[in-house]
Structure formats: C-alpha cells, structure tokens
C-alpha cells in the first residue's frame, strides 16, 4: 500500500480526450487495441453474453438436449410458475433473506467491533488478527466440511458435550442456523479486515481532536470514526448482500440445497445438473438473481466511479 | 472466496504499513479508556481463541484413532496415529485432486494477472472516453452471481470441441480448460481495478522520458510498468491462488467426471464417503486446508495487503 499522491490522470484530463489516441503511431495503436481486446473478448463471451442468453432462455422451455429450435417460447410462464407452483422458491427467498439478516446482525457487526478494538496498538494485536482472518483463506465448502466435526449427529463435538442427539446438518428446522454459524466463522474475519484497512485511513489527529474536546469513546466512535468509514460501510453492505445472494457452496456440500437449506443459487444449479434439466426455468431463476444483484452492483459502481472521477 | 468486491478508494492517506504508522500518542488512546480497554481486550482474546478452535480441533482429531475416540469419546486424549492421513489420502484420491487444482490454479492466476495488467495499463496510461465503461464492464462481471450465467456457459462449453490430447471428453465441458477460462474471466475485474489504481500512482514523467527514448507502448508496459507494479502483482497473485484454489461452484457444475475435480469441489463426494468417520473428515480437512494455509502463513503480508489493496488508493 505504498502511496504516491500525484495525479497523472488530472494532468491528462486537461488534454482533449481524443488527442492521445491520435498521437500514437499506428503500431502502438494496434498494441493498445490488442491489449484491451483480448481480455474484453474473454469477459464478454464468458460473462456478458451468457448473462444476456440467460435472459433470453428464461422466456422458453428447453431441456437443453435438442437444438435451439426445440426451445418452446412461453413468454413469462416460467416466472409465473416460479412464484406460484414451485415449492422451494419461497423458502429459498426466505432463507436468503435470513442469511442476509444474520450476516449483518452478527458477523458484520462483530467484525467491525473487533476491527475497532484491534486498530489500537495493543499487545498481541497481530496474533488476534491472524486468528480472525485465518478462516478467510479457507473455502466455504471446506468450512462446511470442517464443521461436521462439531455438527455430526453421532460423532460431533456438540452432541458429545451436551449429550444430545441432534442432527445439526440434517434437521430442516435448525440446519440453516448451523450453516450460518459456520459461515459467520469465516465472514467475521473478512469484515474485520476490510474495516481495519478503513480505520487506518482515519486520521489520528481527528481522534485526538475529539479527545481534546472531551468526547467520550462511544461518541468519538459514532461522530468521528463511523462517518469517516462511510465509503467502507457502503462496500460492506454491498459485499454482504451479494454474498448472501450467492450463497451456494456450503449448502451444496451438505445436501445440495434441499431439506431446509434451499437457497436460490442452489435452485438454479438443481435445474441444470439435477435429475430434470429445465433450462428455461433455471434461467428464469438466474434472471431473478441477476436483477436483485444488479441493483447493488449499480450502487457499487456508482460509488467507484465517483471516486475515480475525483481522481 | 466467493464475493471479491473490494473496498473502493477512501481518502488517500499518507500512512504506510502496519505498526509504524501511528504517532505514539495514539498508542494509548484509540477510542477506549484504560479499564474498559482491558475488558474489551480480554473479550477479544477469548474470541480469538474460539476462532482458532475449529482448526485446532480438526488438527488434533486428525491424529487420533477412530476406535479410540469411539470408545472414549472425543473429550478424551490419546490414541495417537497418523493412519487417518494415509487412509484419507488414498480414499479421497487427494494426489489426483490436488494435481487438478494445481493445473487449474497456476495457469488461471498467471493468465488473470497478465490479461488484467494489460487492461489496467491502458486504463491508467491513457484517458480514453471508454475508460470508465471498460472498468465497469470488468468490475460488474466480477460481481454478477455466477449462477446467473451457469446455463449458457454450461451449454456453450458442451458445444465446443477440443482435441483429445487437450481434453479426454473431447469437449471444453469436463475439462480443466473450462475452469481456467471461467476463473480468469471472473477474476479479471478485481485485478484490473486494483492494478489500474496502482499504476495511476506511478509518476507520469517516466512515461514521458520513455516516449522520448522512442519506447513502444508494449515496452512501456512490459519493461517499464510491470517491474514497478511487482508488489501489487505479488499481493494479487497470493490472493488469486487462494480464490481459484477455493473455487467451488464452477468446478462442481462444469466437471462431472470425478477424476477431473479439483480438490475443493471433490469435497462434495468425500463428505458422503467419510461420513461415518469424523477423524477421517478431520484429516481430509487438514489436507485440503494445508496448501492455502501454507501460502497464507508464508505470504501473510501479501495476502492482507491484497485484500485491502483497493481500500487505500494504490
């Protein structure tokens, strides 16, 4: 994070936008075009084109085996079916919302508080930080796997300690919560890390000024530190929303997203690699995910662009 | 890692790395008074121990005999053995899966860094009108839920033939190539953003003198810029290795031949197989976690600065 505060951009921004392009010799122009085109083609072909095709396919019925002309176009039928006669849909929405609420209330708040505490120069701060963000390097699927050591009905630690016989991953009434606790183990460290970086940006003199003014610690936090972290807060909101919407790995590794663990991401996959391949139907679910996420992606990009323009 | 959004640039700070960043006055202060500070410190310390516990627990039990823990319960001590590792290794076929992970991770990370550094260079070096749109195209791609693209990608990959020496399924689907391509396409957004911000902090004069020397754009990129952004590349490489290694969704849906699965998605099959023996689960977990943990501890600084790279500009 070296920081050289100078602005090559603003210097250039004065020049007419197209001026640069014209000044380049032909060979260099070819180089620039190639340098941009290859990555662009990859991202368009593998991300943007499929996104568009998902929207198109969502208006049809297709088992995916025949040619494109075997697609039967049904208009909004898939969407109608999803909200009316597809049993796992509303539970999935509910679970995704619980996921979101839980991530916000527990690990996000906890991560932020830990960051505020560890931001001070305290003994062992490094060690604590390491402990909290170590789970961040593990995959979510692996975390589901590891937590079996606690959750297993016959051999899990929890049942061993309390002498219970609860099937934490299997019981549809509680498995969502079991999964969320395991997820929180990883999420807290991630949030902590983001806030730690944000807090470093809080000018020490601001805190001192607040301290001199006799502001209490709680007040200092809410009036001085929290406002400075605003851009970070916004990013954290976007991260948490997108992460909750994408939830997939851990439920798939446990039971492929059934039986109390329905989430929307898993429903899409079930319609493609499950017993029944319903591409149109799965695409409609995918488009619903895309629509929800696009709201937050827009918020995020606007924020990034505002920063970019400021240079 | 699933969501890789990054904090945007906050206000630029003159602060450098870690411990030396603060004036001594702050060491006492923070925002907590002394007595309350101690209470909070103790709470955080206990929490930290709780956070370490799952991995420590896995490590301990991975070295214990199944029969012993069955007879004496898990709260006992004893029955030490390394047999779980041998059994987990052969039953889980970890040699094969780790090899697959390696074959996906290394090319995907190199390709991602190479392609995104090219875009980042153009975005940072020239101000074209399309710069912001371009950044948006890459960044948004990074944030779309992968499930939303699954069906078309799956179907397109099933249509594209590959020669048999590249993929024994004869298709992109079910080949490691599919994973390399998809991972690269998805990770480019994050890397482009971080690298272009980093490149913008390079003094503009170096390019002016390079131009005077008649250096081509390619040379300005490859011989001038790339060596200067090495710290950012190192940080991103560390992060990307962990993310690609940890990638689960695409590998699960695009690879249907068990012997082609990278290790993270192979966990899916292992859970059923190891179901009856928790000690085997523990050993398997440690085997899968070990590569990323080694990277993490060896390159911890890179890892953390990679995650927070976007948060202070450059």
Residue with structure tokens 């990277």?
Answer: B295
Higher-confidence residue of B105 and A4: namely B105
pLDDT at B70: 79
Can you tell me which residue has the tokens 């109390």?
A260
pLDDT band for B297, please (50, 70, 90 cuts). Answer: confident
**Helix, strand counts (H, E) of chain B:** 16, 0
> Does the CB of A165 have a partner CB in chain B at under 8 Å?
no
pLDDT at A55: 94
Residue B253 is nearest to which of A45, A118, A273, comparing CB atoms? A273
Which of A17, A136, A193 lies closest to B129 in CB terms? A17
Mean pLDDT for A158-187 is: 92
Q: Given an 8 Å threshold on Cβ–Cβ distance, is A146 in contact with B308?
A: no
What confidence tens digit (pLDDT) does each residue in A93-119 have? Answer: 999 999 999 999 999 999 998 988 888
In chain A, the percentage of residues whose pLDDT exceeds 90 is 48
Q: How many angstroms separate the CA atoms of B152 and B157, rounded?
A: 8
**Residue A21 pLDDT:** 47
| pLDDT exceeds cutoff 90 at A65 | no
Tally of residues, chain B: 314
Chain A residues touching residue B295 (CB < 8 angstroms): 137
* Residue B118 contacts A, CB cutoff 8 Å: yes
Q: Does A283 touch chain B (CB under 8 A)?
A: yes
Radius of gyration of chain B from its Cα atoms, rounded to whole angstroms: 24
The more confident residue out of A226 and B255 is B255
Q: Is A272 on the interface with B (CB under 8 A)?
A: yes
Q: Do B8 and A304 touch (CB under 8 A)?
A: yes
Comparing CB atoms, the residue among B48, B118, B154 nearest residue A272 is: B154
- Report yes or no: B285 at the A interface, CB cutoff 8 Å: yes
**8 Å CB contact of A197 and B308:** yes
> Which of A9, A155, A213 is the best mutation test for B, with the most CBs of B within 10 A?
A155
Q: Show the 3-state SS of A51-84.
A: HHHHHHHCCEECCCCCCHHHCEECCCHHHHHHHH
H, E, C per residue of chain A:
CCCCCCCHHHHHHHCCCCHHHHHCCHHHHHHHHHHHHHHHHHHHHHHHHHHHHHHHHCCEECCCCCCHHHCEECCCHHHHHHHHHCCCHHHHHHHHHHHHHHHHHHHHHHHHHHHHHHCCCCCCHHHHHHHHHHHHHCCHHHHHHHCHHHHCCCCCHHHHHHCCCCCCCCCCCCHHHHHHHHHHHHHHHHHHHHHHHHHHCCCHHHHHHHHHCCCCHHHHHHHHHHHHCHHHHHHHHHHHHHHHHHCCHHHHHHHCCCCCCCCHHHHHHHHHHCCCCCHHHHHHHHHHHHHHHHHHHHHHHHHHHHHHHHC
pLDDT surpasses 90 at B13: no
Q: Does B222 touch chain A (CB under 8 A)?
A: no
Distance of CA A120 to the CA centre of its chain: 28
* DSSP designation for B20: G
The mean of the pLDDT values for chain B is: 83
- Size of the A and B interface in Cβ pairs below 8 Å: 419
* pLDDT 10s digits, B71-94: 877 777 878 888 889 988 998 899
Please give the Cα distance from A152 to A166 (Å, whole number). 8
Mean pLDDT along residues A192-221: 75
A176 in contact with B, Cβ within 8 Å: no
- Amino acid A135: pLDDT: 93
The minimum CA-CA distance between A278 and chain B, rounded to whole Å, is 10
More confident residue, B34 or A46: A46
Q: What is the pLDDT of residue A161?
A: 87
Task: Supply the pLDDT for residue A311.
Answer: 58
Task: Please tell me what DSSP assigns to residue B224.
Answer: I
Coil vs helix vs strand at B299: coil
Task: Give me the interface pTM, i.e. the ipTM.
Answer: 0.85
Do A1 and B282 count as a contact with CB atoms less than 8 A apart?
Answer: no
Integer Cα distance of A187 and A284 in angstroms: 29
Chosen from A9, A56, A138 to mutate, greatest number of chain B CBs within 10 A: A138
Q: What burial letters (b/e) apply to A208-237, b meaning 16+ CB within 10 Å?
A: eebbeeebebeebbeebbeebbebbbbbbe
pLDDT tens for B234-252 read: 889 988 999 999 999 999 9
For B18-42, how does the pLDDT look when each residue is reduced to its tens digit (9 = 90+)? Answer: 334 444 444 444 555 667 778 888 8
Give the residue-averaged pLDDT of A225-250. Answer: 86
Query: Which of A139, A197, A252 lies closest to B311 in CB terms?
Result: A197
Query: Which positions 176-195 of B are in contact with A (Cβ < 8 Å)?
Result: 181-182, 184-186, 188-189, 192-193
Of B182, B17, B274, B271, the closest CA to residue A144 belongs to: B271
The beta-carbon neighbor of B122 closest among A36, A118, A133 is: A36
Q: Under an 8 A CB cutoff, do A155 and B74 touch?
A: yes
Average pLDDT, chain A: 84
CB contacts of B19 in chain A (<8 Å) are 121
- List the single residue in A with minimal CA-CA distance to B72: A160
Give how far B80 is from chain A: nearest CA, Å.
17
The pLDDT value recorded for residue B176 is: 92
CA pair distance B180, B287, nearest whole angstrom: 23
The distance of A283 to chain B (nearest Cα, Å) reads: 7
Q: Nearest CA to CA, how far is A259 from chain B (Å)?
A: 16
Report the distance separating Cα A187 and Cα A132, nearest Å: 9
Q: Closest to B132 (Cβ–Cβ): which among A135, A297, A308?
A: A308
Q: Is pLDDT larger for residue B106 or for residue A154?
A: B106
Please check whether residue A246 touches B, CB under 8 A: yes
Q: Which chain A positions have a beta carbon within 8 Å of B20's beta carbon?
A: none
* HSE-CB of A150 using CA atoms within 13 angstroms: 14
Q: Alpha-carbon distance A41 to A60, whole Å?
A: 27
Put simply, the chain A residues between 17 and 56 with a CB less than 8 A from any chain B CB are: 17-18, 20-21, 24, 27-28, 31-32, 35-36, 38-40, 42-51, 53-54
Query: Measured between CB atoms, does A91 come within 8 Å of chain B?
Result: no
- The pTM of the full predicted model, rounded to 2 decimals, is 0.86
Structure token digits, residue A112:
């932020």
pLDDT mean over B103-107? 96
How many angstroms separate the CA of residue A166 from the nearest CA in chain B? 16
Non-local (6+) Cβ contacts of B175 within 8 A are B162, B166, B167, B168, B169, B260
Cβ count near A298 (within 10 Å): 12
* Residue B14 banded pLDDT, cuts 50, 70, 90: very low
Are residues B100 and B261 in contact, defined by beta-carbon separation less than 8 angstroms?
yes
Q: Worst-scoring range by mean pLDDT, A42-51, A178-187, B211-220? A: B211-220
**Neighboring chain B residues of A1 at a CB cutoff of 8 Å:** 16-17, 305, 308-309, 312, 314
Interchain CB contact of B201 with A (< 8 Å) = yes
Q: What is the pLDDT of residues B155-202, one digit of tens each?
A: 899 888 888 878 877 888 889 999 999 999 999 999 999 899 889 889
B2 touching chain A per CB within 8 A? yes
Smallest CA-to-CA distance from A106 within A248, A253, A265, A240 is with A240
- Taking the Cβ of residue B42 and every Cβ of chain A, the question of whether any pair is shorter than 8 Å is answered with no
Around Cβ A196, how many Cβ atoms within 10 Å?
A: 25
Average pLDDT, integer, range A119-143: 87
Contacts of B75 in chain A (CB under 8 A): 160-161
Top mean pLDDT of A5-14, A77-86, A297-306, B8-17 is at A77-86
Q: Does B152 touch chain A (CB under 8 A)?
A: yes
Task: For strands A60-61 and A72-73, give the pairing.
Answer: antiparallel
């Amino acid at each position: 994070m070296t920081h050289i505060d100078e602005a090559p951009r603003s210097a250039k921004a004065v020049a007419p936008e197209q001026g640069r392009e014209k000044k380049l010799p032909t060979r260099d122009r070819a180089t620039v075009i190639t340098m941009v085109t290859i990555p662009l083609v990859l991202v368009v072909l593998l991300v943007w084109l499929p996104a568009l095709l998902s929207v198109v396919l969502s208006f049809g019925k297709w088992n995916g085996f025949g040619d494109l002309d075997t697609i039967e176009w049904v208009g909004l039928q898939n969407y109608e079916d999803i909200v009316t006669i597809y049993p796992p849909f509303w539970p999935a929405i509910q679970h995704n919302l619980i996921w979101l609420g839980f991530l916000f209330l527990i690990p996000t708040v906890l991560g932020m508080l830990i960051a505020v505490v560890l931001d001070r120069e305290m003994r062992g701060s490094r060690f604590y930080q390491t402990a909290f963000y170590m789970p961040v390097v593990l995959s979510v699927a692996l975390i589901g796997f590891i937590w079996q050591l606690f959750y297993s009905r016959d051999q899990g630690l929890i049942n061993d300690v309390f002498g219970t016989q609860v099937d934490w991953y299997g019981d549809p009434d509680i498995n969502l919560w079991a999964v969320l606790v395991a997820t929180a183990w990883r999420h807290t460290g991630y949030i902590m890390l983001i806030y730690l970086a944000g807090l470093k940006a809080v000018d020490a003199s601001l805190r001192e000024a607040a301290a001199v003014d006799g502001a209490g610690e709680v007040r200092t936090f809410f009036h001085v530190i929290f406002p400075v972290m605003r851009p970070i807060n916004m990013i954290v909101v976007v991260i948490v929303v997108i992460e909750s919407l994408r939830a997939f790995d851990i439920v798939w590794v446990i039971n492929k997203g059934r039986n109390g663990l329905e989430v929307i991401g898993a429903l899409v996959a079930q319609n493609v690699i499950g017993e029944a391949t319903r591409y149109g139907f799965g695409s409609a679910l995918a488009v619903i995910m895309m629509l929800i996420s696009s709201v937050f992606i827009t918020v995020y990009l606007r924020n990034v662009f505002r920063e970019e323009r400021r240079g | 890692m699933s969501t890789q959004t990054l904090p945007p640039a906050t206000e630029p700070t003159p602060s450098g790395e870690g411990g030396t960043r603060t004036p001594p006055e702050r060491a006492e202060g923070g925002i907590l008074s002394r007595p309350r500070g101690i209470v909070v410190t103790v709470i955080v310390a206990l929490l930290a121990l709780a956070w370490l516990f799952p991995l420590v627990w896995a490590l301990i039990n991975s070295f214990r005999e199944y029969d012993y823990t069955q007879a004496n319960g898990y709260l006992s001590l004893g029955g030490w053995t390394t047999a779980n590792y041998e059994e987990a290794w052969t039953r889980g076929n970890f040699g094969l899966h780790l090899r697959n992970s390696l074959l996906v991770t290394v090319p995907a990370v190199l390709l991602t860094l190479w392609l995104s550094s090219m875009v980042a260079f153009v975005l940072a070096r020239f101000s074209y009108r399309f710069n912001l749109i371009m950044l948006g195209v890459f960044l948004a791609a990074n944030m779309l839920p992968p499930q939303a693209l699954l069906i078309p990608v799956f179907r397109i990959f099933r249509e594209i033939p590959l020669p048999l020496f590249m993929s024994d399924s004869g298709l992109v689907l079910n080949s490691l190539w599919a994973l390399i391509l998809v991972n690269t396409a998805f990770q480019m957004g994050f890397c482009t953003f971080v690298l272009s911000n980093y490149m913008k902090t390079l003094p503009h004069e170096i390019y002016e003198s390079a131009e005077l020397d008649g250096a081509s754009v390619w040379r300005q990129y490859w011989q001038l810029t790339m060596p200067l952004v090495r710290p950012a590349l190192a940080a991103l490489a560390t992060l990307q290795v962990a993310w690609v290694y940890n990638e689960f969704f695409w590998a699960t849906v695009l690879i249907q031949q068990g012997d082609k699965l990278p290790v993270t998605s192979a966990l899916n099959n292992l859970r059923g197989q190891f179901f009856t023996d928790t000690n085997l689960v523990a050993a398997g977990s440690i085997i899968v976690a070990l590569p990323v943990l080694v990277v993490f501890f060896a390159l911890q600084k890179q890892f953390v600065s990679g995650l927070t790279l976007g948060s202070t500009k450059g």
